[in-house]
Copies of this chain bind each other. A is one copy, B any other.
Amino acid sequence: MTDRFLRACRREPVDRTPVWFMRQAGRALPEYRAVRQRYGLLEIMRQPELCAEVTLQPVRRLGVDAAILFADIVLPLAGMGVAVELRDGVGPVVDPPLRTPADVDRLRPFEPEAAVGPLLQAVRLVRRASPVPLIGFAGAPFTLAAYLVEGGSSRDFLRVKAFMHREPAAWARLMEQLTDATVAYLRAQVAAGAQAVQLFDSWVGALSPADYREAVLPHVRRLIAALPPVPLIHFGTGTAGLLEQMRAAGGDVIGLDWRVDLGWAWERLGEGVGVQGNLDPAVLLAPFEAVAAEARRVLDAAGGRPGHIFNLGHGVLPDTPVDTLKALVDLVHAETSKRKD
């Protein structure tokens, strides 16, 4: 097994910069589309063999240095008694959404084996079969709360922010429950074999630094502190104004989107932490020449320092050509191998 991904998480020297892609499983791969012709998203996540297969597809096809479990971040919410669906072309839909303090009190504690048993079985299967490390993952409390309160994706997150400002006590209870659930969920993934985890606080960039500090940071800090000692990647988008606080909340690696220069971000984060990212996934829709130029820019900004994991700044977009993904993996490996000569 190549362990350059785990070595990079620990900021140890690596033979080549490791590379994987958020949302590498799914979407862009023809073999995934073939599976999807026969099965719905939730069906895949509830059938261990299928879920393991889809998780491993990008490892075989693209040569990435890590596998990430095929799942959706809203998946554990069903186990808390929330009516959640994954609608094709829409994304997660929570209906009815959570809108009142009483709704918070109706959430049930999350019990991993009961709620996501088949997914944990998929973790065991992947771990046995994968030639690269397996990353488990979960949504962070704010991002889960955003789905719950907004009822799905959102552009400006007004409802979840309104709830946060109007109902501070219920907000704190909500964040505590989501923190407890996420700790249990990630612990179960690690127990089943995940060798690293990524915490997706995808939408936390909607908040002001002051709101993050008060309403989010303490919960994420408690969450990360309660996890087993595997490497943790702490990721969000739109976080250029929040990086120091995300670092304070925890994580061995901070995941960057594309809206921030990687070199400057790493300077701000300081010693003792790795960084992952930060190629704009939109660039992968352009001719490969443009992709290569951007990839080299990211590698230059990282400067070959131990602790850099190459990735996009957010998930692979649905229309991304699979050849571009493959060529990008090869380019990162070739460029960073050359550097060591």
Contact = CB atoms under 8 A, between A and B. Distances in A.
Interface of A: 155-158, 161-162, 165-166, 205-211, 238, 240-242, 258-261, 264, 278, 280, 282-283, 285-287, 290, 294, 297, 313, 317
What number of copies of this chain does the assembly contain? 2
A161 B259 CA distance: 13
A242 B265 CA distance: 12
Given A208-B280, A210-B294, A210-B297, A165 B259 contact: no
A204 to B, nearest CB: 10
A260 B209 contact: yes
The 5 A-B residue pairs with the shortest CB-CB distance in the complex, in nearest-first order: A165-B286, A240-B240, A241-B260, A240-B241, A161-B282
Given A162-B282, A165-B285, 14 more contacts: A156-B282, A161-B282, A161-B285, A162-B285, A165-B287, A166-B286, A207-B280, A208-B259, A208-B278, A208-B313, A209-B261, A240-B260, A241-B259, A241-B260
Contacts of A162: 282, 285-286
Contacts of A258: 208
A242 B282 CA distance: 18
Contacts of A209: 259-261
Contact of A259 (B207, B282, B290, B313): B207
A187 to B, nearest CB: 32
Given A208-B258, A259-B207, A165 B240 contact: no
Contacts of A155: 155
Contact of A283 (B156, B165, B280): B165
A280 B294 CA distance: 33
A259 B282 CA distance: 22
A156 B91 CA distance: 15
Contact of A158 (B205, B238, B282): B282
Contact of A211 (B240, B241, B278, B280): B280
Given A156-B282, A285-B162, A285-B165, A259 B317 contact: no
20 contacts: A156-B282, A158-B282, A158-B285, A161-B285, A162-B285, A165-B285, A165-B286, A165-B287, A166-B290, A205-B238, A205-B259, A207-B280, A208-B294, A209-B259, A209-B261, A210-B294, A238-B238, A238-B259, A240-B241, A241-B260
Contacts of A157: 282
Contact of A241 (B208, B210, B261, B297): B261
A44 to B, nearest CB: 25
Contact of A280 (B161, B242, B264): B161
Contacts of A260: 209, 240-241
Contacts of A290: 165-166
Contacts of A206: 259
A317 B158 contact: yes
A51 B278 CA distance: 45
A204 B206 CA distance: 16
Nearest to A167: B286
A297 B290 CA distance: 42
